[in-house]
Amino acid sequence: MGFCRVISASVQGFCVEFVQVEADVSNGLPVFHMVGYLSSEVKEAAERVRTAIRNTGILLPAKKVIVNISPADRRKKGTAFDLPVAAAVLAALEVVPSGQFDKVLLLGELGLDGRLCPVEGVLPIVMEAAGHGYETCILPAANMKEGALAGSMEILGAENLAQVIAWARGKKPLKRPEKTAWENHVHERQVYDIDYSDIQGQEGVKRATLVAVAGNHNLLYIGPPGAGKTMMAKRVPTILPVLTKEESMEITKIYSVAGGLRHDSPMAVQRPYREVHHTVTRQALAGGGRIPSPGECTLAHNGVLFLDELAEFPRHVLEALRQPLEERKVRLTRQRGAYEFPADFMLVAASNPCPCGYYPDLNKCTCTDYQVQSYLGRVSQPFLDRIDICSEVPRVGYEALAGASKGQCSANMRAQVEAARERQRYRFAEESIRTNTQMNQEQIEKYCMLTPAGKRMMSQAFEIMGLTARTYYKTLKVARTAADLDDTDTIKEEHLAEALSYRTIEKTFGKG
């Protein structure tokens, strides 16, 4: 009887923390006790481990078994510690040689019959472990493909505890995942049953959508009910550009932590599109909890976050988006530390102009001026300042609905988006950004040079439209994207005029 230490890890927020699982077996009153600032599901591992070991065919002697998961000042949560606890106890009992677990990271949940169940957060843990010198990682077989995406260390998979014991005794090797190149994870472009050609008329709104997606700009639709705001937003995924390998890995890591991956095909190959109802809580939107977990902002990283009926959202919920929209990350502070989540998403929102939806059509609108201002005033001006493009969606007339012309289709719009994004990739090859909307002030001055006529136009617009410093720079970013769509390096007056036309948000919402 003796002592053994094995290595495991957990994800705290979006950071990986390595932990040491120590087991000591000695003479004394028979007990199986676990310590180390554990959550309830980790404390319950004692019963799962004891039962799983017994059902594997190994009888635990009547000894005093103490398991410590250190560091003891960090709270542990999740079920991934079951396998390392079992391995440490078996090695301390000398059922398996403890030397087999040197430089080996173990993760896995145990069923009562000894089977290994999949766990969350495998990909970021494996990627971090490889950088810390660990050579092998033993995972549940269902997590093997996810672990193999890291491509930087040996991944072994087991169906049950008995297979891990046989491997530790040198009797039988564990499974290894098939090595596949990144290209094998990329599927054909997803086929959608919706298309922008389904929307009759609204070519101006389609153009605004095209500019927004091309530069990854935040977009707001304003119009009466039935004008097509939600239809426009739901078709945004049909024109999003293909993911790069780096973007795909970022999304996969996030969904690994959130437990949203498919075990048979874990690599993310489509940009996320998250549609959020106005009853969402602040914590669900931005992330949170005692040990914070990703919210909808983070789940939409490298994709789209759609907020329908924007003015119906509680004001304090929308205010939680101000920091992510500005910094493209979510920072949460808790008693035991600060947590940071990526949140680089394109915000798409839709709103009626008043409670009944028909303002300023006084023939249909039944709202008083006070009701209109109160409704629009639910969205603060600082939040509106973070919207790059505001597109008014007018009511569609009979002629447009009955006409044979379909207008732009998604395939044509997507080709223009990808051409513009390629120009941006080339432009920012030496920068740490990918799209126009990510430019800081220094980069705007470098890449958004204006002609003398353009400077005069912006000077007049700044005074007449009452632009702020933030909205001034956002206008230049949008103009840069409009120029990219025209395949030119020069921002012309027509590009600035188009960008300024998308600032109707101030006219619609006023200073509510």
> Per-residue pLDDT tens for 271-302?
999 999 999 999 999 988 777 889 999 999 99
Domain shared by 362 and 419, yes or no: yes
Number of compact structural domains in the chain = 2
pLDDT for position 199: 87
Residue 186 resides in a domain: no
- Among candidate residues 148, 168, 188, the one where a domain is terminated: 168
pLDDT for position 150: 87
How far is residue 147's CA from residue 124's CA, in Å, rounded to a whole number? 9
How far is residue 435's CA from residue 119's CA, in Å, rounded to a whole number? 34
Could you read off the pLDDT of 236-271 as tens digits, one per residue? 999 999 998 899 999 999 999 998 888 888 888 899
Domain shared by 353 and 307, yes or no: yes
pLDDT for position 480: 97
The helix-helix angle for 245-258 and 122-131 (nearest 10°) equals 120
Domain shared by 464 and 353, yes or no: yes
The yes-or-no verdict on residue 17 having pLDDT over 80 is yes
> What is the arithmetic mean of pLDDT over 478-505?
93
> How far is the first Cα of the chain from the last one, in angstroms, to the nearest whole number?
72
Residue 179 resides in a domain: no
Could you read off the pLDDT of 20-47 as tens digits, one per residue? 999 999 998 889 999 998 888 899 999 9
Q: What's the predicted TM-score (pTM) here?
A: 0.90
List own/partner pairs for 448-452 with CB under 8 A and 24 or more apart.
Answer: 448/476, 448/477, 448/479, 448/480, 448/491, 449/491, 450/476, 450/491, 450/496, 451/490, 451/491, 451/492, 451/493
How far is residue 63's CA from residue 481's CA, in Å, rounded to a whole number? 70
- Residues 6 or more apart from 171 whose CB is under 8 A from it? none
Could you read off the pLDDT of 327-386 as tens digits, one per residue? 999 998 877 778 899 999 999 999 998 898 888 787 888 888 888 888 888 898 889 989
Give the structural domain span for 37.
Answer: 3-168
The yes-or-no verdict on residue 146 having pLDDT over 60 is yes
pLDDT for position 511: 40
Domain shared by 129 and 201, yes or no: no
pLDDT for position 357: 84
Domain shared by 380 and 483, yes or no: yes
Strand partners, 276: 307
> What is the arithmetic mean of pLDDT over 476-498?
96
Could you read off the pLDDT of 205-227 as tens digits, one per residue? 999 999 999 999 999 999 999 88
pLDDT for position 512: 37
The yes-or-no verdict on residue 416 having pLDDT over 80 is yes
Average model confidence (pLDDT) across the chain: 90
